[in-house]
Structure 1
Amino acid sequence: MTKFAYVGCRTSEWRGARGKGITVFRMNDEGHWEQIQCVPSIQDNPSWLTLDTKRNRLYALHGDGNQVAIFNRDPETGLLSLSAEQTTGPLNGHPDLETARRNNPVGAALTPDMNTLLVANHEAGNVAALPVNDTGLDKPCHFSRIEGHAVKDGAFQTLSRPHEIVFLPGSTLFAVPIQGRKAGNGIDMIRLYRWVESKAQLCDEVHLADGSWPRHVDFHPSGKWLYGISELSSTVTAFDVDSARGSLTLKQTISTLPQGYASRSDASEVEVHPNGRFLYAANRGHDSIAIFRIDPCDGSLSPAGWVPCGGKTPRFTTLSPDGRQFYSANEDSDTIQVFDVNADTGMLTRTETTLPTASPTCICFA
């Protein structure tokens, strides 16, 4: 079966980006990637991609903007064609926010029935629900606003910034990491929601250290644990998950950096291996992938080692669906580095495959 990879990127001058649009690759069984298309960006920064396998569509969020583009995907050729665009919601008028980035959709996920696209609007401080229709997406029908710290009467309403949406496999529960940035007087936390009757129902939230900036999360395949990575503190936090009650319990926080490393580094991405035995965390600055062993009894983490990412600034990383390869999208070196995964140890071995692609920020496979 022919496989395809879709790579999002940043394109804007404000971001210092070099990308031109969504890049489409054809992949063969030997791991060779052949670029077959570059879809010019209609708006800046097609930076987050979500694949709709039910309808053969690709949804692309325009980072720093307020739009999502809908592409039809030819399942035989893998090629994309623009179908429509839709707003992810109104701009936020909060005076503390940067004028050019008052919505900024940064992460999305389809609900389990694949009938709604949920979008994390970072600067707008909400999760928006966009119903899927025959030709694309309807305007948002529901917003889950994420409040910041309480303020005195008369002050402008506060907000916290959601950064990703990840569903527990086989469940209507989903986790949202939230960054408590100073502008808007936000709260650093992880929230757990349940998708019920076309609305996001808040189940639980756990506050993390101020200034840590929770960024991405991933569930363990067993569903018993959740792992979150925090950007500025460069830490991974492990939680117990009670899926029946919809609750989280914080159990461990561990650094993503080697002991003694003191230079600036911002953590970016976290993944659990499909076999449930290993966790990977990316470091921008240290420019490495941290590898952790997962205790099969309680889900706690222990360091197994660090591997150079093969470039500069690993903004996004992911595993192949079978867990045999690992990919690091190195934004500032304009490359995707491919690694082989040792299924017994979890360690990564850099391959000879280094793919040139400008300012990569996201990879998804079909």
Structure 2
Amino acid sequence: MEPVTTQETLFYTGTYASADEPGIFLCALNADTGEMRIVNHMDGVDNPSYLALSPDGNSLYVASETDEGEVLVYRRDAATSELHLMDRKQTRGASPCYVSVSKNGQWVFSSNYSSGSVNVFPVGDQGTLGEMSAWVEHTGSGINEERQEGPHAHSIQPDPSGQYAVVCDLGLDQIIVYRLEEGRLVTHREMDQPPGAGPRHLVFHPNSKWAYVINELDNTVTAFLYDERRGEFTTVQHISTLPEGHKGEGTAADIRVSPCGRFLYASNRGDDSIVLYHIDQESGELEAVEWTSTIGQTPRNFNILPGGILVVANQDSNNLVGFQISEEDGRLTHNGFKLELPRPVCIAPVV
């Protein structure tokens, strides 16, 4: 393993891999040049598709997206970033596709896509997980008979206050807010999205007053006002993720707000693009500015790394692609570098 230089930022990449092939990759990005490389990798996990680091950076939580889902806990060596398996817990659900950690590091959340349920685990010593403190199974369906035949909890994450956990259920066209009460999930509010929208992922703006949801099935973003004290979302805007006149099938995937809070990005599978929106700093509303090719197929997940570089995981072309973000207007410019990886689906920066 080549030593990591001071110019390099580390990130882990999750993939769709079988347990007998490399599935979790530690990668390095040179913030000066944009060049990426694989530092090391590990096997032993079926479909380690979604990853989340603990706030202190010492533990990596991995969703094993299988019929009998698990969350695995790895201790990260601070000096080498090598991973050591510490714990694994079943999620009592099928196809967990999302995992997140509370800001205080005390709770780990996971969502089971196929079975439509969500979980909470308390965090113990060395980042290990205690016995599941909450398990909630959703019921119902949506209007899209192929994709919404039942509940599909696609993401769960704590709100900025840490009082609530917010779930996007693609199958129900609902955003469900739970109160987090000593590790239990208590239903607080249920908010309907447009029929057939398919809410997938949600991000909060750095000011905590606005939130944005990417809707997978109708290729839109919904902008919300967020009342942190009341755990309440108010819809402000629905806007397409696709360029005008787009033809062909496709689904939206991921969504990120830039650290400066002026730009929002979303990925389109099928169109294979990242759309840039400018965020109105008074209202939180979005204006679509530009669509940039991801130079690959099926951009699943992407993330913004230190140095203002956006890295896209192109699942079906087996590569990561880097783009420099303009500080002035947020536009993306391919920095000339790609990294070949098998079926990449998630990027988790080591901050």
Tell whether the structures are fold-level matches, with TM greater than 0.5: yes
> What CA distance in whole angstroms lies between the structure 2 residues aligned with 1:39 and 1:345?
38
Q: Deviations over 1:90-143 (max 9, x none)?
A: x5xxxxxxxxxxx11111111232122111112232211112222521231211
Check conservation: 2:101, 2:157, Cα contact below 8 A.
no
> What CA distance in whole angstroms lies between the structure 1 residues aligned with 2:31 and 2:317?
26
Question: Letter of the aligned partner of 1:106 in structure 2?
Answer: C
> What CA distance in whole angstroms lies between the structure 1 residues aligned with 2:25 and 2:139?
36
For 1:32, the equivalent position in structure 2 comes to 35
For 2:145, the equivalent position in structure 1 comes to none
Deviation at 1:311, TM superposition (A): 0.8
Deviation at 1:168, TM superposition (A): 3.0
Check conservation: 1:111, 1:172, Cα contact below 8 A.
no
For 1:154, the equivalent position in structure 2 comes to none
Of 122, 125, 137 in structure 1, the residue corresponding to residue 129 of structure 2 is 137
Query: How big is the alpha-carbon RMSD for the aligned residues of Structure 1 and Structure 2?
Result: 2.2
In the superposition, relative to structure 1, how do residues 261 and 67 fare at CA in structure 2: closer, same or farther (>3 Å)? same
For 1:257, the equivalent position in structure 2 comes to 242
Identity rate, percent: 33
Check conservation: 1:19, 1:358, Cα contact below 8 A.
no
Check conservation: 1:19, 1:357, Cα contact below 8 A.
no
For 2:329, the equivalent position in structure 1 comes to 345
Partner-residue secondary structure (3-state), 1:174 = strand
Of 21, 24, 38 in structure 2, the residue corresponding to residue 22 of structure 1 is 24
The total of aligned residue pairs comes to: 335
For 2:227, the equivalent position in structure 1 comes to 242
Partner-residue secondary structure (3-state), 1:68 = strand
Check conservation: 1:205, 1:248, Cα contact below 8 A.
no
> What CA distance in whole angstroms lies between the structure 2 residues aligned with 1:121 and 1:70?
17
Check conservation: 1:328, 1:338, Cα contact below 8 A.
yes
Q: How does 1:260-279 map to 2 (within 5 A)?
A: 260-279=245-264
TM-score when normalising by structure 1: 0.86
Partner-residue secondary structure (3-state), 2:79 = coil
> What CA distance in whole angstroms lies between the structure 1 residues aligned with 2:104 and 2:156?
15
Check conservation: 2:54, 2:60, Cα contact below 8 A.
yes
Q: Deviations over 1:55-100 (max 9, x none)?
A: 71111111134112221111111111222322112x5xxxxxxxxx
Question: Letter of the aligned partner of 2:340 in structure 1?
Answer: P
In the superposition, relative to structure 1, how do residues 274 and 54 fare at CA in structure 2: closer, same or farther (>3 Å)? closer
Question: Letter of the aligned partner of 2:48 in structure 1?
Answer: P
Deviation at 1:19, TM superposition (A): 6.7
> What CA distance in whole angstroms lies between the structure 2 residues aligned with 1:288 and 1:325?
16
> What CA distance in whole angstroms lies between the structure 2 residues aligned with 1:131 and 1:109?
12
Of 312, 315, 319 in structure 1, the residue corresponding to residue 297 of structure 2 is 312
Q: Does 1:123 align with 2:103?
A: no
Unpaired runs of at least 5, structure 2: 1-5, 143-148
For 2:59, the equivalent position in structure 1 comes to 57
Partner-residue secondary structure (3-state), 2:316 = helix
Q: Does 1:331 align with 2:312?
A: no
Check conservation: 1:265, 1:285, Cα contact below 8 A.
yes
> What CA distance in whole angstroms lies between the structure 2 residues aligned with 1:363 and 1:19?
18
Q: Does 1:3 align with 2:9?
A: yes
Question: Letter of the aligned partner of 2:64 in structure 1?
Answer: H
For 2:3, the equivalent position in structure 1 comes to none
In the superposition, relative to structure 1, how do residues 302 and 27 fare at CA in structure 2: closer, same or farther (>3 Å)? closer
Question: Letter of the aligned partner of 1:3 in structure 2?
Answer: T
In the superposition, relative to structure 1, how do residues 159 and 313 fare at CA in structure 2: closer, same or farther (>3 Å)? closer
Of 183, 205, 217 in structure 2, the residue corresponding to residue 220 of structure 1 is 205
Partner-residue secondary structure (3-state), 2:125 = coil
Q: How does 1:141-220 map to 2 (within 5 A)?
A: 141-148=133-140, 160-180=151-171, 187-220=172-205
Deviation at 1:12, TM superposition (A): 4.8
For 2:46, the equivalent position in structure 1 comes to 44
Deviation at 1:159, TM superposition (A): 5.3
Question: Letter of the aligned partner of 2:41 in structure 1?
Answer: C
Partner-residue secondary structure (3-state), 1:333 = coil
Deviation at 1:243, TM superposition (A): 1.1
For 1:184, the equivalent position in structure 2 comes to none
> What CA distance in whole angstroms lies between the structure 1 residues aligned with 2:176 and 2:251?
22
Q: Does 1:363 align with 2:347?
A: yes
> What CA distance in whole angstroms lies between the structure 1 residues aligned with 2:166 and 2:348?
20
Unpaired runs of at least 5, structure 1: 92-102, 151-157, 181-186
Question: Letter of the aligned partner of 1:142 in structure 2?
Answer: A
Which moved further from structure 2: 356-365 or 126-135?
126-135
Question: Letter of the aligned partner of 1:49 in structure 2?
Answer: L
Check conservation: 1:291, 1:306, Cα contact below 8 A.
yes
> What CA distance in whole angstroms lies between the structure 2 residues aligned with 1:354 and 1:32?
8
TM-score when normalising by structure 2: 0.89
Q: Deviations over 1:166-187 (max 9, x none)?
A: 333354333221112xxxxxx2
In the superposition, relative to structure 1, how do residues 80 and 190 fare at CA in structure 2: closer, same or farther (>3 Å)? same
